[in-house]
Structure 1
Amino acid sequence: MLLSALLSTAHKFAPSQCPYTNIDRDKRSSQNSSQSKSQNPKSFHLFFSTQTDTEVCSMFAEENGLKGDPRLQAISQAIRVVPHFPKQGIMFQDITTLLLDHKAFKDTIDIFVDRYRDMHISVVAGVEARGFMFGPPIALGIGAKFVPLRKPRKLPSEVISEQYELEYGSDCLELHVGAVQPGERALIIDDMVATGGTLSAAIRLLERVGAEVVECACVIGVPEVKGHCRLNGKPLYVLVEPREIDSCLRCDCSPVAADVKKEECLRRKVMMCSSYQFSPEWAPN
């Protein structure tokens, strides 16, 4: 039985092709480019893959025992919203300001540690790059090791790779061979989730080396992930929803009214919700 398990694990180490070595990369890039150009640049939406794995309802902290907890509001308020970064129409959720607020940052880590302390987790896997900011303190708090899941050519030793598709291209995560042992219980950490593509790749990568993924956790999660995030049947725990700049983000303005007020809103660093939403060209994963 042990031999069978070892052979199965060895088979899983067969390397996946990353987009950087795939001969079809240029073809896909061309296709993705033409798809991108067909999108209305002022009509942005969050896309969800039609090729979903087993769906699982996401758990937002407020709906899972922390309703009314003032720490969640403080965490949300500590996250800065940067309009039009890295490109026009994107509401960037900047967690660096959360890191500057030592109390809000500590509250973030404490909530995760309280949740996972008694789940017998031995591995906390952080997704590059912002997962590296939250993963290590959580690992220390629950007595687990931290393992980075990195982009291609960042890890110096032998790696196992997992390719995954994004709405507008492909990417790849890598893990050091031997960093995670078969049978270890793992938690995956990232800063934000929208479509779940990156987290799903992280799950597959850890499962290929024989780990048991207990749960995925993110600081920020768009409301649409509730019941729609393709995470291979694994639970997802999220602290807060993306911040907005102003209440006019959820106004019911007509497109005409939105155009009239757009300059005024932009001067106040506010975007009209009927004109701009999350962009599929740079959606967090």
Structure 2
Amino acid sequence: MTTDQTPTYVESGKEFDRDMNYIPDRITADGRDGWPVEPGRYRLVAAKACPWANRAIIVRGLLGLEDVISLGMPGPTHDARSWTFDLDEGGKDPVLGIERLQEAYFARYPDYPRGITVPAMVDVPTGAVVTNDFPWITHDLYFEWRDHHKEGAPNLWPDDVREEMDDVMKRIFTEVNNGVYRCGFAGSQEAYDSAYDRLWTAMDWLEERLTDRRFLMGDAITEADVRLFTTLARFDAVYHGHFKCNRNKLTEMPALWGYARDVFQTPGFGETIDFDQIKAHYYVVHTDVNPSGIVPKGPDLSVWHTAHGREKL
């Protein structure tokens, strides 16, 4: 890990408030934002360590867009400046030729004032970032790149449950995806207690919802499952201890744990999970939460491959 600066995440006395002001441009079939769908033109930069980026990796694979949109993968640790391509030969992305994702942001916005985040879609010809608006990235991979989906690609946004799915995804984002961060980056006991209670209210809701249905919206995987899965995959390895989300482990919730293994064992999901990178990212980068930088050896991750028995649902 480079240490030009130490990134800080916990603001003393305050609750964690995620900055959701992302670059709003979208890559669309009609090119209305100036970025038309064009095979080979864009590179998805997405670190395996990051749950938000993990979503984009999964959706790209499920839809069969690997030969249409290339994938750049930064390493799991970074400093306050940027994600870096330290896993690539010479420490440079082999397509973009850059050492830091920050360079793609500065190629478009020389004074870009916000965090350098993944996932990011980068315009290969110019080397400039197009967007880092992660909810729209996966949405548009499905809706705007349809002409390039593989045959038999899953319907991640089914019309018949769309309205309910929007509500489910909103609650999952605010209470679970972001809820674990509110716990981990709480700057006061009061902020932590509130975040903890909100998280576990939502986890209990999910446990109940998944008791009698195989996936969040029924009998098929949707975008909602992609969004929940990347948090659940990190729960026992990181969030339970590192973020103090420790009422119980995921493995102690029968429906949620069975569901998580079911999704993990579905082609396109488990192979995107790198637990070593995940643990390295959280335990090394978050020095204000884990100042020692020690990465735990556990938990036993072979349990993800055990039978889940949810086919009967």
TM-score (norm 2): 0.27
Higher RCO structure, 1 or 2 (CA under 8 Å, sep 6+): 1
In terms of fraction of residues, the more strand-rich structure is 1
Which of the pair has more CA radius of gyration? 1
